[in-house]
Amino acid sequence: MAMALRYLWPLFLCSPCLLIQIPEELMEPPVITEQSPRRLVVFPTDDISLKCEASGKPEVQFRWTRDGIHFKPKEELGVTVHQAPHSGSFTITGNNSNFAQRFQGTYRCFASNKLGTAMSHEIQLMAEGAPKWPKETVKPVEVEEGESVILPCHPPPSAEPLRIYWMNSKILHIKQDERVTMGQNGNLYFANVLTSDNHSDYICHAHFPGTRTIIQKEPIDLRVKATNSMIDRKPRLLFPTNTSSHLVALQGQPLVLECIAEGFPTPTIKWLRPSGPMPADRVSYQNHNKTLHLLNVSEEDDGEYRCLAENSLGSDQHAYYVTVEAAPYWLHKPQSHLYGPGETARLDCQVQGRPQPEVTWRINGIPVEELDKDQKYRMQRGALILSNVQPSDTMVTQCEARNRHGLLLANAYIYVVQLPAKILTPDNETYLAVEGSTAYLLCKAFGAPVPSLQWLDKEGKTVLQDERFFPYTNGTLGIRDLQANDTGHYFCQAANDQNNVTIVANLQVKDATQITEGPRSTIEKKGSTVTFTCQAFFDPSLQHSITWLRDGRKLQELGDTDKYFIEDGHLVIHNLDYSDQGNYSCVASTKLDVVESRAELLVVGSPGPVLQLELSDHHLLRQNQVRLSWSPADNHNAPIEKYEIEFKDKEMAPEKWYSLGKVPGNQTSTNLKLSPYIHYTFRVTAINKYGTGEPSPDSETVLTPEAAPEKNPIDVKGEGNETNNMVITWKPLRWMDWNAPQVLYRVQWHPQGTQGSWQEQTVSDPFLVVSNTPTFVPYEIKVQAVNNQGKGPEPQITIGYSGEDYPQVGPKLEDIKILNSSTVLVKWQHVDPAQVKGHLRGYNVTYWWEGSQRKHSKRYVHKGHVVVPANTTSTILGGLKPYSSYHLEVQAFNSRGLGPASEKTFSTPEGVPSQPEVLHLECQSDTSLLLRWQPPLSHNGVLTGYVLSYQPVDDGVKEKLSFNLSDPELQTHNLTNLSPNLRYRFQLQATTKEGPGEAIMREGGTMALSGTPNFGNISAMAGENYSVVSWVPQEGQCNFMFQISFKAQGDEKMDTSVHYSQRSYTQLNLQPNTDYEIRLLKEKVLLHQMAVKTNGTGQMKLPSPGFATEGWFIGFVSAIILLLLILLILCFIKRSKGGKYSVKDKEDTQVDSEARPMKDETFGEYSDNEEKAFGSSQPSLNGDIKPLGSDDSLADYGGSVDVQFNEDGSFIGQYSGKKEKEAAGGNDSSGAASPINPVGTLE
């Protein structure tokens, strides 16, 4: 059809609605497009404009009715009709009050053409003149103080809502409150008047928004008579005046209920709904609770509402019975339709309202009751039905519904046309879809009668045989669960009685997008990092993308680039906070499909702060109780396990919080039991499994009343620090136990066993010194807390003692039992308790080495100490030097100090020696080795010789060769007949008559095993007249002698023998700025060769040889220097001895083979230093070595007893104190140390 097409109107071929193109020459039924509102109020000077516009083809003609009578605007004086196309509107000008009232009435517009008539709704035109207050004489209102009064307003009536204001002559608003109220009717109500209400200018103002006019009533003079006896009275309702009333509320509109009462005291208003709860989301109370506003009324709001006015004398009430009704509203509004010849037309008109609206039908503006009865329409359940319609049946119908609250009108046309079938969807469209989805192939057809549609495949067969294919009534073909083989061509055919048309649709099925690995829900701690993964498969021919969402919003839109990191299908969120928790979605999408995988992120952590602390039940403070309540803390996704309640006292400890206890996590209040006289400030902290949250803000501070102490001091002790006193001490009460601003201590005492009165003294400090007491006498002691409110509970009695004196006797020693060469058992008898003069704390055992039984042993004194508990009378002394003499002292001690000593001397038997100090291996040849060693430092007896053992290493030979060297003075031994290719393990032991001692071991081989000597990292450096040659000995290479020679050109060479193990050699007396050749030789075999040049500016000329260079002269000078050095050493030793020793004593001071470095002086390990040379541990030069004697006292040692015991019950230790300080500076002979301050323990 070659003709111009255009868009016309929504046309219902079937469901849903289609916007179609139809031929331009088709006519169009009239449709009202614009009209005036249903109610039109006009005021003087306003132009009156009634609108009515409509579309249609051919051109629409308009006509009007007023109050059901034909109205011709063009023939009315002062009326101007609009000449615009499609408009029937007109305007009335020259308005005044009389002129406007002449045009009042109900108007209706009709728009008609050949196809029918459309009708507007009713337009009610109301004219209102300028408002005026009627003339009246206002008399003064006289009332006695305390009575109620109503000042009337009665404004002129108006079609539009008006506003009422009460003001005075100064245009100031009358203040309104619970006592003075303006009602909805404009009256001013006084529940009771006061003398301050006495004014002559109460003026009611009425504001008319329509005319933009404010008018005022004559002033009212309110005269209040003062009285001295205002009479109380119960409430009485001033509005409404009866006990009940009935109201009708419209659905969807607001409801306003009001109650105003009088009485003295001024009543209060409450609102109740007996039939159910108030709708809290839609109800509000205004005007000091006197007015109830209910928004958007619905059927459920139907029922009784009651207002209750109350004061202290009684109450009054009013019941509102509200019935909810509704203006008509649509359930199914009739719609315009296009029909073909022979079809059945049906227009549905269903409405609802309360009361039920009356429904009437019109055809082309004429009520159906007034039409001929032979029409072929029929009415059925509110529907208008026409069968077998023809073009002549085209019409415009009106459905009108009316009840007392309003009117509804709908125009709908039936248009019967005859058109050939036409497919509106473009031909050869291509549709893309993915496997598993549903494809929709469009085929929108138009025609009259409505064409039939069918979908065919390329072979002309219907596609509906496959249950996956399903048609829609609008012609669309749906294909569900798409498969790859559904790709192809599909044909849509539309036909009616006039023609047949076909189009083709092309379908391409693509691979569906799949998320192969999606994000997983997780729970993470605050501050951590979380990673979500998203991997997806896409059809390769489609462009694709992966997008991350949080709670439905793209992360890119959130803008936090530092927190979110997205790359290669991974989302990383750093530094998690609670605001980061939510649902995170990975969205994989193409233009055809979208796949989403979602994961939930929960961020957990310690709870948030507790808020809104509140203290209640303050009256319980007299019983030292208060109730603490708080709002629950945010648990941060981990249940709160408990709340901790703490307090502080801003007066006594403002910075420290103390715990009052914990309550379960589901509890938000608790009764606290408090202590007297504390300025309590509380805080609450929530705790879950992730930790403790932030504390709440501080509560208000409350002070509990004072009270007598509830506790007494603890740890009461009585001890003397002098022989004639007793110091009573105790642990003072904490400030929170004072129960008052300060606390004192009542101290009572008397000798134990006496029946006399108690001595007492009240002090503030936590101690009291009782003087002039006998030595070591028991006392009964009581300490009681007191304050200005009274005394604490009766205190318990504690036994204390006056000061102690030194023990008077020493313990009686028994025989000393020798256990082995280094251990003895010492026993003694208990001392008499009466002679202890105090509490026996234990026994102090002191012992020291006096000398070795060997000749020439050195005299070196080192004292050992052992502390033994009071209930033990023996101890084992271990770690002694074998073959030595010891001196032993045992003393009892108490808290005062040491008593007199019991002494004894004992000797230890001979033992085995320690290992030899050094063992060196020197290569002699391919089959021999020279062994060199140093004797042991500790002989522990008389050396009888050595035992030498050796055996090959790692050759399978387990036999060990061993032989005795019976010369104790021997220090070298040459081994021959060794295998040149074996490595040997050598073991050397010194022996006494008790047997061999600890062995020293070395491994090595002969020269053949070592091979050619290797000088690793050898280097030479030179100064001006010297040179240093350095090398690193090879591991496993035995020691040997070799020669180093230095030779300059033209000079004689200088040779020196050097040991391989000494690592470096320095050659002196070289010439400056001279080149030297350095050669290393062994048995004339060159081992290494190198060159070096000395520093300097030139070669010095040496003087001619003289006697000073002769060897005999050099030896003579060396001997003199050596003798002088020996004399200086002897003088130094003599001075250090103070000149008190004989020549034999001096010999004893020489270093012998038993000297060794001194070990740390620790308890339980007797130091092996009695034979150490003075050269390594020299007494001070002044010789001030104080021996342990009876003049040692507790003051010399200080400290209290710190007791540790061995398995046998003994306490062993050394002591540090004043004596050790006196022995400092290299003197290893320590003086006696205190038994009550041991430095360590013996094992």
pLDDT for res 1009: 59
pLDDT at residue 1190 is higher than 50: no
Distances (CA, A) of 1218 to 457, 864, 1221, 1222: 118, 16, 5, 6
Mean pLDDT across 435-464: 90
Q: Give whole-number Cα distances, 288 to 259, 304, 366, in Å.
A: 11, 21, 55
**pLDDT of residue 1189 exceeding 60:** no
Q: Which residues contact 319 (CB under 8 A, 6 or more apart)?
A: 243, 244, 245, 304, 305, 306
pLDDT of 151 strictly over 50: yes
Q: Give the residue among 305, 270, 272, 310 at the shortest CA–CA distance from 290.
A: 270
Question: Which residues, in sequence order, are bridge partners of residue 1015?
Answer: 1033
Q: What is the mean pLDDT of residues 170-196?
A: 92
Distance (Å, whole) CA 885 – CA 877? 14
C-beta neighbour count of 678 within 10 angstroms: 22
Q: Is 162 helix (H, G, I), strand (E, B) or coil?
A: coil
Which of the two residues, 535 and 1190, has the higher pLDDT score? Answer: 535
How many H helices and E strands in the chain? 7, 97
pLDDT of amino acid 569:
87
pLDDT digits (tens, 9 = 90+) for 486-508: 999 999 999 988 899 999 999 99
More confident residue, 257 or 920: 257
671 pLDDT higher than 80: yes
**By three-state DSSP, how is residue 456 classified?**
strand
The two structure tokens encoding residue 775: 């030595």
Give CA–CA dist 652/1123, Å, rounded: 81
Q: How much of the chain, in percent, has pLDDT values that exceed 70?
A: 85
Phi and psi at residue 14, to the nearest 5° = -160, -155
Q: Which of 108-112, 151-155, 970-974, 1196-1200 has the lowest mean pLDDT?
A: 1196-1200
| 1191 to 887, 1194, 1224: CA distances (angstroms) | 19, 10, 20
For residues 519-530, average pLDDT: 93
Between 945 and 210, the more confident residue is 945
Q: How far apart are CA 687 and CA 638, in angstroms?
A: 10
537-550, pLDDT tens digit by residue? 999 999 999 999 99
E strand residue ranges, 364-517: 366-367, 377-380, 383-386, 395-403, 406-416, 419-423, 429-434, 439-441, 445-448, 452-456, 469-471, 477-479, 488-495, 500-510, 514-517
Residue 11 pLDDT > 60:
no
Summarize pLDDT for 1035-1088 with one digit per residue, the tens. Answer: 666 777 788 999 888 788 888 888 877 788 899 988 898 989 998 888 788 888
For residue 589 the two structure tokens come to 């999408």
User: pLDDT-based confidence at 135, cuts 50/70/90?
Assistant: confident
- Phi and psi, residue 162, nearest 5°: -120, 165
Predicted pLDDT of residue 1212: 36
| CA–CA distance, 185 with 154 (Å, rounded to integer) | 8
Q: Please give the average per-residue pLDDT across 758-772, as a whole number.
A: 93
Residue 842 — left, alpha, or beta (φ > 0 → left; ψ -120 to 50 → alpha)? left
- Tens of pLDDT, residues 15-54: 333 344 455 567 899 999 999 999 888 877 777 889 999 9
pLDDT at 532: 94
CA–CA separation, 414 and 398 (whole Å): 11
Q: What is the pLDDT of residue 794?
A: 93
Grouping H, G, I as helix, E, B as strand and the rest as coil, residue 449 is coil
User: Confidence band (pLDDT; 50, 70, 90) for 517?
Assistant: very high
Assess whether pLDDT exceeds 90 at residue 980: no
Closest to 407 measured CA to CA, from 131, 33, 108, 673:
108
Using left for φ > 0, alpha for ψ between -120 and 50, and beta otherwise, residue 838 falls in: left
Region 891-912: mean pLDDT is 91
Instruction: Confirm if 524 and 576 have CB atoms less than 8 A apart.
Output: yes
Instruction: Yes or no: say if 468 and 475 are a contact pair by the CB < 8 Å rule.
Output: no
Q: Could you count the other beta carbons within 10 Å of the beta carbon of residue 1201?
A: 17
% of the chain with per-residue pLDDT over 90 = 53
Mean pLDDT estimate for the chain:
83
**Confidence category of residue 1227, pLDDT binned at 50, 70, 90:** very low
Mean pLDDT of 1200-1221: 37
* Lowest-pLDDT range of 59-63, 190-194, 672-676, 1239-1243: 1239-1243
User: In angstroms, rounded to a whole number, what is the distance separating the alpha carbons of residues 840 and 827?
Assistant: 17
Of residues 48 and 682, more confidence is placed in 682
Look at residue 1222 in the predicted model and tell me its pLDDT. Answer: 36
Q: What are phi and psi of 711, to 5 degrees?
A: -135, 160
Averaged pLDDT, 625-635? 92
| Residue with more model confidence, 209 or 779 | 779
Name every residue whose Cβ is closer than 8 Å to that of residue 914 and which is 6 or more positions away in sequence: 936, 937, 938, 940, 990, 997, 998, 1156
Q: Residue 552, exposed/middle/buried by CB under 10 A (0-12, 13-18, 19+)?
A: exposed
Tell me the CA end-to-end span of the chain in Å, nearest whole number.
122
pLDDT at 1225 over 50: no
- Residue in 619, 640, 616, 643 with CA at minimum distance from that of residue 699: 616
Least confident of 172-176, 282-286, 727-731, 923-927: 923-927
Using the CB atoms, write b or e for 358-383: b if 16+ within 10 Å: ebebbbbbeebeeeeeeeebeeeebb
Q: Is the pLDDT reported for residue 793 higher than 70?
A: yes
What CA–CA distance (Å, rounded) separates 23 from 422?
11
Burial of 255 (0-12, 13-18, 19+ CB in 10 A): buried
1119 secondary structure, DSSP code: H
For 104, 168, 739, the CA distances from 200, given in Å and listed in that order, are 42, 9, 66
Q: What is the pLDDT of residue 1127?
A: 85
pLDDT of residue 1136: 56
Judge whether residue 266 has pLDDT over 80: yes
pLDDT (tens digit per residue) in 1151-1187: 333 333 333 333 333 334 333 333 333 333 233 333 3
Report the amino acid identity of residue 862. H
Count of beta carbons in the 10 Å neighbourhood of residue 1197: 24
* pLDDT for 1199 beyond 80: no
Q: Is 97 left (phi over 0), alpha (psi -120 to 50) or beta?
A: alpha
- Supply 1098's token pair: 């030139």
Tens digit of each residue's pLDDT (9 = 90 or more) over 837-889? 899 999 999 999 888 766 555 555 678 889 999 999 999 999 888 988 999 99
The rounded distance, in Å, linking the Cα atoms of 105 and 981 is: 142
User: For residue 1243, what are the CA distances in angstroms to 871, 1194, 1220, 1235?
Assistant: 20, 26, 22, 17
| Confidence (pLDDT) at 857 | 52
10: pLDDT confidence band, cut at 50, 70 and 90?
very low
**What is the mean pLDDT of the segment spanning 384-410?**
92
pLDDT value of residue 120: 94
pLDDT of residue 97 exceeding 80, the answer is: no
- The answer to whether residue 98 scores a pLDDT higher than 80 is no
Which residue type does 383 have? A
